[in-house]
A and B are shown apart, each in its own frame.
Chain A
Amino acid sequence: MMNLIALILFLPLAGLFVNLLFGWKLGEKFAGWVASAAISGAFLAAMGGFVRLIGLPPEARLLRLVLFEWIPIGGFQVNAGFMLDPLSSVMTLVITGVGALIHFYSMGYMHGDRGVVRYFIYLNLFVFFMLTLVLGDNFLVLFVGWEGVGLCSYLLIGFWFGRESACEAGKKAFVFNRVGDFCFLIGLFLIIGVFGTLDFAEVLGRAPTTLVAGSGIATAICLLLFAGATGKSAQIPLYVWLPDAMEGPTPVSALIHAATMVTAGVYMVARAYVLFELSPVAMNVVAIVGAVTLLVAASIALVQTDIKRVLAYSTVSQLGYMVLALGVGAYSAAIFHLMTHAFFKALLFMGAGSVIHSLDGEQEMNKMGGLNAALPVTSMTCTIAALAIAGVFPLAGFFSKDAILYSAMTSEHGGVLFWLAGAAGALMTAIYIFRLIFKTFHGKCNLTMETQARLHESPRVMTLPLQALAGLSIAGGWVGIPLIPGADIFGGFLAPSLGGLAEGHHEALFEVIMMAISLAIALLGIYIAYKLFVRNVGGGAAYAERWPRLYRLVLNKYYVDEAYDYMIIQPVKRISTRLWKDFDDGFVDSSVGGVGGFVRLIGAAARQLQTGYVKSYAITMLVGALAVILYLTSGMK
């Protein structure tokens, strides 16, 4: 019997190698098909793994694969080990499923670009690392995937180089992720220090007995891990890289910055939920960060005019929902939303890509409008996705968002405030997403005549994936229907990985009321968007004029970028330049130039320029030695 885990992992790698060796010669079409076939194959393998898991009794649903002993250091050993349990099974299905669709879509989208082969190589490499991340059976393999997806994402963000902004965006993503990764690494070392291992099964199994609940060390580990998650999953305070990352090609935004990589932080926290349960403080921090992020990002999304930026902030906001769910202990709701979000957000991005594609790269919504007629499939599918993300019954987003809101209210870690934040976010979500739909597909067409003449629906290879995702955006939520006994298949399936379902007393009436409220909020939001952007075009602008300060504040994203630049980036640059220029090179400059006050100061040594300046080195060393003496004698007593 072939090992399914190996198959899932190595098919993308195989696609990569084929393209690496032959893709350059055989051309774009070949490369696209190879890459897509590899991911589709991985999807089939993931399905196979899923079926295999289903066939096992719930508590035994775990497949393992140990490739080799990776790092044997003393008593501490790490294997290149992988496991497929319900949680990673869901993740692999999402990654390979949505990933395959995006690969197919890319063949149309990237058609004619000079770097297509390279693009598909990066894309396959990305999927490989993403699968490593979710399949790893210990923190270190997860970390390998974690860094790997990061690397691919920087490369893909900067794919269209020559564009200065793309380069800057790649750098920004890198720097902000490093901050998160730094904390994550320290967290890992703390885990090594406490448990002596990084194996999930051992760490999570021993955590309740080894760590004291509520202890400082438990909180430290959780907060450090979570800091890593805020980098990767674009949460406050490290979210600012994601909107800029939209410089990459649109399918990349769909795959990496919507459906998969950015959810890695959510996955990691869910995976390590046992640790988080031990620290109420960390849980609270997680929930608060999620709630604030979802509000801040949603409010920014209300006023952006670049179609991809609206979607980017929307992604940050939706990730906030997932993090909020984690923080209130509703892990399976978080993963549920992760899945449905992958469907409708990938669809929205690809729809936006389809629009951009047919408009020759135009991303400004103010210049669009009325595209419904020319792009019927795109318009239709995007509207479905918008209904889903807004949370309209019975689409996918309704169920997952409702699950989160319900838990935010009722969970022991939750509270009314969290629910309010979620509800307010839901209202804004409905408004901004329908603002996008109305501005793009409806109303007056703001395009120039010649662009209008060239308008065309995207090719089949692009629209078919859109339709498939539209289907999933409708039906994807039906696996997690609450209330009806046994209908929450999703939660039941995840239970072995994420702890038993909270089989608390469900007050049916209360739950129905909650559902009705969230549906009402969604419909209200859509109605507001309709009033402001269709019935009374310019209604939005009127509000902007009424509160110009607030409008500018939000439009400029609360000036967070500027604050970071002023408080952190500039000072670091100054310090490093000073260290180098004033201390180390101060001597060099004065000597190599062969002139300057330095020589005059030395006077007698002027003729022996070099030795004079070596002398200053020697003096530095002597000063160093003297400092050392001072230190030692003071410590001696």
Chain B
Amino acid sequence: MPVVIPDIALSLAATEIGLVILICAVIVADMFTSMENKSLMGAFSFFGVVVLGFVALSGWGGGVRTTFSGFYVLDNLSVFVKVVILAATGFTILLSLQYAKIERFNHGEYYVMILFAVFGMLVMASGNDLVSFYLGLETMSISSYVLVSFIRHDPLSREAGLKYFLMGAFASGLLLYGIALVYGLTGTTSLLGIAKTLGGANGAAIGADPVMVLALILIVAGFGFKLAFVPFHMWLPDAYTGAPTSITAFMSVAVKMATVAALMRVFFIAFPSVAGKWNLLLWLLAVLSMVWGNFAAIAQTSLKRMLAYSSIAHAGYVLMGVVATSSFVDGKVVFLPLGVSAVLFYLLAYMVTNLGAFGMLILLCREDYRGDNIEDWRGVGRAHPWAGLAFLIFFLSLAGLPPTAGFVGKLFLFGAAIQNEYYWLAVIGILSSAVSAYYYFRVVMVMYMETRAESQPVVEFSKAPSLLAVLVILVVATLFLGIFPGGFIEAARGSIAGFI
């Protein structure tokens, strides 16, 4: 029996291969670094990630190329997603350098685990098969469980990690079961293969099979958990509050980016013929997430927890863009690219904004003082006008007010929803974002209009240059994306080339 050696173009996976090399290098280097100098590992990882970012970027515009027997695809969409993820990683590492010392988890493995998670994300972005996608997802998830519980001496962090792990395992099970059912029905796990079977002669029968419906439900529920859509969101406030703030920031942007990209690829490529079913389902999840996330955030007193709820709502906005991509003509789905580009741009805008917002929490954090309650920000705006201004800009962007990245992002999303005639979705989105402005603004009021109580410790910001540099970059980026978004919108629109 002749053995067919598949054509493997390793160069298409250059970013991932480079990342693995980087990981190994960091592990080895870590052994020869003393406890005091672990930050060097962070710096090392940072420069590696920057280089990899450029490597990833070089894949732009090369058309759709597959390798590893079609398990792996490189197109503009995956390049866009990878570059944003790597950028988020770079920022996260810089946010962590000082913070890891303060919270006493400054170990080399911390950076290694981040890089492992990133590896999973990159695989997800390129996964062209349910199996490769699932492998990426698990690599990312398991690393995240570890990262969430990384403040080992803090019971809150350990508990958060355990919960996240148990729920994550449960969700992975659901997802895997769904994948297995799809394989059983279609005989393949390749996204294109599934689409072919479902669109083929027997497609209609398979699509109407209750087992297929069950499979779709399981897959949606799996994604729903990973992205914390309501009602699959309950782990998130606990996990986000307990995790190290840098990891919360990282998860809220990078994990989301990778998972949303995978979600779009799986549903748009593999299941267009049953789009009517999953689209309504996602519609419902989007609405629930936007409404619930925003309303529950109002009542929070912990700023970190408030941002956790707000990230549920933001996941809802993103999902709105995914939903708004499908347009139905005579019962057949037509994907309109506007929605996908809106999603990508929004994720980019959210990346700079949310990293910045969590970065502000890290700025205030010092030993034995977490500073993650809303109360802790009393009077900061007046005493420290620049820090106040930075936080104000991040909040404006989160609330979707001009002239910031979040405004353009929301305009893009709502515009896409309106253009594809999802009027109710847009109205609910605008209404819930109007609600969100209230709780963001409450922090602004606390910062600018309340005076610090006698009992509160004096504000003392971290002086780490890496942290300050990141925050400045993120503020500028938030404004830049709001005022001159043209080039990035072009990139977001270009990234759908060959995708749908």
B402 touches which of A68, A143, A158, A614 (Cβ 8 Å): A143
* Chain B minimum-CB-distance residue to A616: B234
Q: Look across to chain B and name the residue whose beta carbon is closest to the beta carbon of A618.
A: B170
Q: Are A189 and B426 in contact (CB under 8 A)?
A: yes
- Interface membership of B298, Cβ < 8 A: yes
Please determine whether B485 and A70 come into contact, CB atoms closer than 8 angstroms: yes
Within the assembled complex, what's the spacing in Å between the Cα atoms of A627 and B224? 14
0/1 interface trace, chain B 415-448, chain A, CB 8 Å (1 if under): 1001100000011001100100110011001001
Partner of B430, one of A185, A614, A618, A632: A185
What band does the interface of chain B fall in when counting residues whose beta carbon is under 8 Å from A? 35 or more
Give chain B nearest CB distance to A622 CB in angstroms. 9
> Whose C-beta in chain A lies nearest to the C-beta of B233?
A584
* Known A-B contacts A167-B449, A624-B231; A189 and B430 likewise in contact (beta carbons under 8 Å): yes
Q: How far is the CA of A632 from the CA of B211 in the complex (A)?
A: 12
Contact between A617 and B234 (Cβ–Cβ < 8 Å)? yes
Closest chain-B Cβ to A90's Cβ sits at a distance in Å of 25
Nearest A-chain residue to B220, judged by Cβ: A628
Nearest B-chain residue to A635, judged by Cβ:
B280
**Interface 9-mer from B143-151, B159-167, B313-321, B360-368:** B159-167
**Nearest chain A CB to B362's CB is how many angstroms away?**
24
| A147 near B401: Cβ-Cβ < 8 Å | yes
Q: Which residues of B contact A167 (CB under 8 A)?
A: 445, 449-450
**Chain A residues within an 8 Å CB radius of B170:** 618, 621
- Residues of A within 8 Å of B218, CB to CB, are 625
Question: Would B221 and A71 count as touching, CB distance under 8 A?
Answer: no
> Given A73-B489, A189-B418, A625 and B295 touching (CB < 8 A)?
no
Instruction: Name the A residues within 8 Å of B31 (CB-CB).
Output: none
Stretch of A292-300, A571-579, A598-606 with 4 or more beta carbons under 8 angstroms from chain B? A571-579
Per-position binary interface string of chain B over residues 215-232, scored 1 when its CB falls under 8 Å from any chain A CB and 0 otherwise: 011101100110000011
Chain B CB within 8 A of A7 CB: no
Inter-chain contacts of B217 with A (CB < 8 A)? 625, 628-629, 632
| Cα–Cα distance between A611 and B159 once the two chains are bound (Å) | 10
Is there contact, CB below 8 Å, between B295 and A579? yes
Q: Cβ of A625 and Cβ of B221 under 8 Å apart? A: yes
Asked whether any CB of chain B lies closer than 8 Å to the CB of A559, the reply is no
Pick the residue among A71, A576, A588, A621 that contacts B296 (CB under 8 A): A576
Counting CB contacts under 8 A, is B119 at the interface?
Answer: no
**How distant is A608 from chain B, measured CB to nearest CB, in Å?**
11
B338 within 8 A of A: yes
Chain B residues with Cβ under 8 A from A178's Cβ?
Answer: 434, 437-438
Contact of B162 among A118, A171, A585, A610 (CB under 8 A): A610
Cβ–Cβ contact B449 & A166, under 8 A? yes
> Once the chains bind, are A73 and B338 in contact (CB under 8 Å)?
yes
* CB < 8 Å neighbour of A71 from B162, B163, B208, B411: B411
* A624 & B167 in contact (Cβ 8 Å cutoff): no
| B164 CB, nearest partner CB in chain A, Å | 10
Interface residues on chain A, number (Cβ under 8 Å): 69
B414 to chain A, nearest CB (A): 6
A583 contacts across to B, CB distance below 8 A:
296
Interface-centre pick from A143, A190, A581, A621 (highest chain B CB count, 10 A):
A621
Q: Which residue in chain A gives the minimum CB-CB distance to B162?
A: A610
Give CA–CA (A620, B284) in the complex, Å: 16
Report the minimum CB–CB distance from A268 to chain B (whole Å).
Answer: 16
Q: Which of A68-104 contact B (CB under 8 A)?
A: 68-74, 76, 80
Chain B nearest CB: distance from A271 CB in Å? 18
B5 within 8 A of A: no
Q: Mark A164-196, 1 if CB is under 8 A from B, else 0.
A: 001100110011001101100110011011000
Cα-based distance from A587 to B233 in the complex (angstroms): 13
B385 proximal to A (CB < 8 A): yes
Instruction: Give the complex CA separation of A617 and B160 in angstroms.
Output: 13
**Cross-interface CB contact of A621 among B162, B225, B385, B419, cutoff 8 Å:** B225
Point out the residues of chain B lying under 8 angstroms from A171, CB to CB: 441-442, 445
The answer to whether B489 touches A71, judged by C-beta atoms less than 8 angstroms apart, is: yes
Distance of A322 Cα from B464 Cα, bound (Å): 55
Q: A178-B437, A193-B418 are in contact. Are A118 and B385 (CB under 8 A)?
A: yes
**A161 with B485: in contact, given A71-B411, A576-B298, A631-B284 (CB under 8 Å)?**
no
B442 contacts across to A, CB distance below 8 A: 171
Residues of B within 8 Å of A573, CB to CB, are 298-299
CB distance from A365 to the nearest CB of B (A): 28
Contact A155-B448, Cβ < 8 Å, known A186-B430, A624-B221, A625-B221: yes
User: B299 touching A629 by the CB < 8 A rule?
Assistant: no
A385 to chain B, nearest CB (A): 31
Q: Is A636 an interface residue (CB 8 A)?
A: yes
B152 at the interface (CB under 8 A from A): no
- The contact of B237 among A68, A575, A584, by CB within 8 Å, is A584
| B277 located at the interface, meaning its Cβ lies under 8 Å from any Cβ of chain A in the complex | yes
Complex Cα–Cα for A175 and B441 (A):
9
A584 and B234 contact, CB distance less than 8 A: yes
Q: How far is the CB of A335 from chain B (nearest CB, A)?
A: 25
What residues on A are CB-neighbors of B138 within 8 Å?
none
For B432, give the chain A residue with the smallest CB separation. Answer: A182
The answer to whether A560 has its CB under 8 Å from any CB of chain B is no
Question: Which of B213, B385, B415 contacts A73 (CB under 8 A)?
Answer: B415
Q: What is the bound-complex CA distance between A346 and B297, given in angstroms?
A: 40
Chain B residues within 8 Å of A166, by CB = 449
Q: Which A residues lie within 8 Å of B483 (CB)?
A: 70, 80
Judge whether A162 is part of the interface by a CB distance below 8 angstroms.
yes
CB pair B221 A628 closer than 8 Å: yes
Nearest-neighbour CB distance to chain A for B451, whole angstroms, equals 5
* Contact indicator B449/A186 (Cβ below 8 Å): no
Given A147-B401, A621-B221, the answer on whether A161 and B448 have CB atoms closer than 8 Å is yes
Question: Could you tell me if A618 and B167 are in contact, using CB atoms closer than 8 angstroms?
Answer: yes
Q: 8 Å CB contacts to A: which residues of B180-222? A: 208, 210, 213-214, 216-218, 220-221
CB closest residue in chain B, given A587: B234
Whether A68 contacts B281 by the Cβ 8 Å rule is no
Contact call B403/A144, Cβ cutoff below 8 A: yes
Answer whether residue B335 sits at the interface, using C-beta atoms and an 8 A cutoff: no
Query: Which B residues touch A585, using CB under 8 A?
Result: 237
| B415 touching A576, Cβ below 8 Å | no
- A621-B225, A633-B213 known; A181 vs B402 contact (CB < 8 Å): no
Contact of A161 among B296, B434, B449 (CB under 8 A): B449
Tell me the complex Cα distance, A575–B299, Å: 9
Tell me the A97-150 residues at the B interface (CB within 8 Å). Answer: 115, 118, 140, 143-144, 147-148
Contact residues in A for B231 (Cβ distance below 8 Å): 620-621, 623-624, 627
Q: Which residues of A contact B210 (CB under 8 A)?
A: 633
List CB contacts (< 8 Å) of B443-500 with chain A: 445, 448-451, 483-486, 489-490, 493
Q: Which of B28-85 contact A (CB under 8 A)?
A: none
- Interface pair A72/B486, CB less than 8 Å apart: yes
Decide if A580 is an interface residue (CB 8 Å cutoff).
Answer: yes
- Residues of chain A within 8 A (CB-CB) of B485 are 70-71
Minimum distance in angstroms from B286 CB to a CB of chain A: 14
Residue of B nearest to A636 (CB): B213
Q: Are B298 and A158 in contact (CB under 8 A)?
A: no
Instruction: Select which of A76, A143, A631 is within 8 A of B281 by beta carbon.
Output: A631
Q: Which residues of A contact B (CB under 8 A)?
A: 68-74, 76, 80, 115, 118, 140, 143-144, 147-148, 151, 154-155, 158, 161-162, 166-167, 170-171, 174-175, 178-179, 181-182, 185-186, 189-190, 192-193, 572-573, 575-577, 579-581, 583-585, 587-588, 610-611, 614, 617-618, 620-621, 623-625, 627-629, 631-633, 635-636
With A70-B484, A71-B485 known, 16 other A-B pairs at CB within 8 A are A71-B486, A80-B483, A148-B402, A171-B441, A174-B438, A193-B418, A576-B296, A576-B297, A584-B237, A587-B234, A610-B163, A621-B234, A628-B221, A632-B216, A636-B213, A636-B277
Pairs A–B under 8 Å by Cβ, sample size 11: A72-B489, A80-B483, A158-B445, A161-B450, A174-B438, A178-B434, A587-B234, A610-B162, A610-B163, A614-B163, A618-B166
8 A-B pairs with the lowest CB-CB distances in the bound complex, closest first: A161-B449, A624-B231, A576-B298, A158-B449, A182-B434, A144-B402, A167-B449, A580-B296
